[in-house]
Amino acid sequence: MRGRGAWRVRDALAFASRELGLAGVGEPAREARRLLGFAFLESFPPLGPEERLPPFFSRRFRSLVTCRARGVPLPLIEGRVGFLDFELKVRPGVFIPRPETEELAERAVALARRLPPRPRALDLGTGTGALAIAIARARPDIRVLAVDRSPTALACAAWNARALGLEDRLQLRASNWFSRVEGRFHLIVSNPPYVRHGELLSLPREVRGFEPKAALDGGKDGLEAIKHILTHAPEHLYPGGWLLLEIGAGQGEEVMRFALDRVGLVETKLERDIAGKERFFLARCR
């Protein structure tokens, strides 16, 4: 680099890949290219490797690389994340949907397609609205209620629902799990907080430092929210209705036992994610 204004694209990318790699970011070269695109607000035609970056964009790129190297997740820098075949706005204070959540959403969509006409679905702890939106997009006749305790999450989910034209069929409500939920549903889905309280500090820096604690903390055994949802789900499901949950790796056995012995759910099933970890719990109401 000969001066900040004279950075060549090739050199800027090499610098960013090195900085991100040293900071422990996975796939540093790919992320460097993403950040460069974002620094340009994606409004410029792509520059060749020998072209020079205008000074404003060099400074912007450098500061984005610094943010990312400090652990700010890429979706928070870009303000959005791809989810299935659509895009979600994300913002600080709202959980960024993970690849596992996409797998959960695929299962929820498959179930939603099997429901009777004009069904109702409930998403507990909706965050960006990812699951509720995936379900609403899958069936034009479905009505979805999505709740969260976080006003920041609800505002973000409302924005996403509006942007995707779903505000008529996706209702958002502040609720402490079922506290403000009335009536029964054909499908209840949730990706609740399930990390053991004592393990929060050992989560990766990006998660620990930038995700809301309320989205992660599952209490002493990690199962507080899951057990609460399991206990109250039958009061809110139609007979034969489905409950689909994301759970933590290693929690399957206890979740199964609790669901069968204490709650009386039937057709209980555990499924693994693509990494081979027990991740999804499925059951039906009698």
Ligand X SMILES: C[S@@+](CC[C@H](N)C(=O)[O-])C[C@H]1O[C@@H](n2cnc3c(N)ncnc32)[C@H](O)[C@@H]1O
Residues taking part in catalysis? 95, 191-192
* Residue 155 touches ligand X, criterion: CB under 6 A: no
Specify the residue, 15 or 210, whose C-beta has the smaller distance to ligand X: 210
Give the span between the Cα atoms of 14 and 110, in whole angstroms. Answer: 43
Binding span for ligand X by CB under 6 A among 38-46, 128-136, 237-245, 272-280: 128-136
Site for ligand X in 193-212 (CB under 6 A): 193
Selection from 260, 152, 138, 154 nearest residue 187 by Cα: 138
Binding span for ligand X by CB under 6 A among 23-31, 110-118, 142-150, 261-269: 142-150
Q: Which residue from 7, 57, 61, 177 is in contact with ligand X, where contact means CB under 6 A?
A: 177
Measured between alpha carbons, how far is residue 233 from residues 107, 116, 243, 285 in Å? Answer: 18, 19, 7, 8
* Minimum distance, C-beta of residue 208 to ligand X, in the bound complex (Å): 14
Measured between alpha carbons, how far is residue 39 from residues 29, 61, 166, 206, 215 in Å? Answer: 15, 5, 31, 21, 30
Q: Are 153 and 94 in contact (CB under 8 A)?
A: yes
Specify the residue, 39 or 154, whose C-beta has the smaller distance to ligand X: 154
| Pair of tokens at residue 79 | 């303000």
Q: Are 123 and 146 in contact (CB under 8 A)?
A: yes
Q: Which residue from 149, 173, 197, 284 is in contact with ligand X, where contact means CB under 6 A?
A: 149
Give the span between the Cα atoms of 190 and 101, in whole angstroms. Answer: 10
| Angle CA 257–263–265, to nearest 5 | 85
* Residue 218 touches ligand X, criterion: CB under 6 A: no
* Residue 153 touches ligand X, criterion: CB under 6 A: yes
* Residue 171 touches ligand X, criterion: CB under 6 A: no
- How is residue 203 annotated by DSSP? S
Write the binding mask 88 to 127 for ligand X: x where contact by CB under 6 A, - elsewhere: -------x-x---x-----------------------xxx
* Residue 214 touches ligand X, criterion: CB under 6 A: yes
Say what the alpha-carbon torsion angle 137, 92, 102, 236 is, to the nearest 10 degrees: -70
Binding span for ligand X by CB under 6 A among 3-11, 27-35, 185-193, 201-209: 185-193
List interacting residues with ligand X (CB under 6 A): 95, 97, 101, 125-128, 130-131, 147-150, 153, 175-177, 191-193, 214-215
